[in-house]
Amino acid sequence: MALLEARGVVSGYGDARILHGVDLDVGAEEIVTIIGPNGAGKSTLMKAIYGLIDCWEGRVTFAGEDVTGLRADEVTERGLCYVPQRENVFPTLTVRENLEMGAYIEETVSEERIADAFERFPILEERQHRRAGALSGGQQQMLALSSALMIDPELVLVDEPSAGLAPDLVDEVFDRLVTIREGTDTAILMVEQNARQALSASDRGYVLDMGENRFEGTDRELLESDEVANLYLGG
Ligand SMILES: Nc1ncnc2c1ncn2[C@@H]1O[C@H](COP(=O)(O)OP(=O)(O)O)[C@@H](O)[C@H]1O
Ligand SMILES: [Mg+2]
């Protein structure tokens, strides 16, 4: 049994059906990337898994328990965190205060965890008393990830971690995710537009298109598939 299993997930907004029965697995300590065109429903899938929007049909299980229909904070308490693409830090709070808020559940964040975050990203320690809103985009992304890791989750969902970053910083983001997985044994499910680079850092991937599964496989299988390359990786 995988750590996360989504089966036949149907969801959307109002009366707009966006996901038409999506299946997805993430194993313990795995890095999995979802790619696909803009508007495919990648972010919607993450929101449905995390309980920010309702699953209309289908089921999500996490660590062997049915979490379908739970609220996001309840899902977080079970060890599944989510880093949205935008507005993922509290801009008026300091870096340290953001870490202390952790994943926003009522659990005291230990100094030891904060020290881990500072060791992983020394720039955060250097800027710990500055407002998060004053950090660069890349630094805010580090802080958002670090905040999610404060509760030592089993799995973190990350929506487009490289979005808005200068091209030369993109590979660094994926290296960092790999380092986090090595250091914490946390599984990572990300959505990415920089598909080749993200897949190269992943164990497996999924292609989502128009709210449906199109392809899935190991990083190599997807990267070496002519069909995937032509349709989704820009040739
Ligand atoms: N809050 C929302 N309300 C209504 N429609 C939405 C909302 N968010 C996204 N959508 C629509 O759902 C579809 C899938 O969006 P999204 O999941 O963000 O795609 P992706 O992340 O793959 O680019 C798009 O057609 C988008 O316009
Ligand atoms: Mg998206």
* CA-37 nearest atom, ligand 1: 22
160 CA closest ligand 1 atom index: 21
**pLDDT score of 169:** 87
Assigned domain for 105 exists = no
**At 171, is the secondary structure helix, strand, or coil?**
helix
Q: Is residue 188 part of a domain?
A: yes
CA of 18 to the centre of ligand 1 (A): 7
Q: pLDDT under 70 in the chain at which residues?
A: 103-107, 235
The domain in which residue 79 lies consists of: 4-86+153-232
Residue 26 vs residues 68, 186, 189, 206: alpha-carbon distances, Å: 16, 11, 7, 11
CA 126 to centroid of ligand 2, rounded, Å: 31
On whether residue 24 sits in a domain, the answer given is: yes
CATH number of the domain within which 191 lies: 3.40.50.300
User: Considering every ligand atom, which ligand is closest to the CA of 48?
Assistant: 1
Count how many residues are written for the chain: 235
Is the torsion defined by CA of 8, 212, 196, 44 positive or negative?
negative
pLDDT, tens digit (0-9, with 9 covering 90-100), for 35-81: 999 999 999 999 999 999 999 999 999 999 999 999 999 999 999 99
CB of 211 closer than 6 angstroms to any ligand 1 atom = no
Number of domains in the chain: 1
pTM of the full structure: 0.95
